[in-house]
Amino acid sequence: MKNKLVPYALTVAVLGISISGPLVRLSHADPLAIAVWRMGITLAIVGAVSIVTGTWKQYRTLNRSDLLAAFGAGAFLATHLWSWIVSIGMTSVAASVVLVNVHPIVVAIGSALWLGEKPTRLQITGIAIALGGAIVLAFGDAHSAANDLAGGSRALTGDALAVLGAIAVALYLLLGRRLRQKLDVWPYVTLVYGFCFALLLMLALATHATLTPQPPRELMLFAAMALGPTILGHTAYNWALKHVRAYVVSVAVLGEPVGATILAALIPSIAEVPSALTLAGGAIILAGIVLTARRD
């Protein structure tokens, strides 16, 4: 780790994405409206940076295949945002952020199937452990279903949507690997976020989701989601990737469920204390992801 700023950058990134779940829970807006506003504000900022730095000129090197890959990445990112934001409203913050962070496992499986990069025995062990943790976590919500049919079933649906969000973000990362070799981070995120925003906007208009007007409180939450989790968090991770190996950054991402769960418990308007099974399942999942993210 040559750059001494890397630990600080990763710490800032974890703090940035950790506030995402609690911010979504605090919002009363339609899930699609949250996603559209979050990506719209983000796109305006990263697009401006791409123009000011002149890195947008790198688009001239892209061919049709590259553009299709960017569109696919944007589509999967849109799916991730929608499914995860909906899941936050249906299950606990702890369960949602832990389950959506199983994407390193999905990436490992996808890499083996599509990129010919088979996981090591240690990674296979990690996948098995994480899946076991997911079963424990889901069992906790299933137990709630036995006591509260409506609430428990809703929580299980939220868990499933969080897993869908993990699969979508994994496919987004797999598609983005090729494009990142041609583009710097600013033009890359501008292009992919642009496709993501356009798809979310079309879906919101097609389903008549309420986009405007939004009260000042909601606009502040949308701006916080864009600046904290999306720009500050992900930009810091992308910066760190130039200085440390990818698995180091992947392991750092695992700090999000811990931070989000703590914040959800401490914020008075949420005051969501996770159950023992949620904590146990989450701890097992995190242990499995740590093993999966390792390369040796």
Q: How far apart are CA 243 and CA 264, in angstroms?
A: 32
1 belongs to a structural domain: no
85 belongs to a structural domain: yes
pLDDT attached to residue 184: 87
54 belongs to a structural domain: yes
267 belongs to a structural domain: yes
- Total number of domains in the chain: 1
CB atoms within 10 A of CB 111: 18
pLDDT attached to residue 149: 42
Contacts of 95 (CB under 8 A, 6+ apart): 137, 140, 141, 155, 158, 159, 162, 274, 278, 281, 282
pLDDT attached to residue 140: 59
pLDDT attached to residue 194: 95
132 belongs to a structural domain: yes
Type of residue found at 50: S
In the chain, which stretches have pLDDT less than 50?
1, 145-150, 296
The answer to whether the beta carbons of residues 198 and 65 sit under 8 Å apart is: no
- Please provide residue 138's backbone torsions phi and psi, each rounded to the nearest 5 degrees: -65, -35
139 belongs to a structural domain: yes
Range of the domain at 213: 6-293
272 belongs to a structural domain: yes
Token code pair at residue 253: 């991402």
pLDDT attached to residue 21: 79
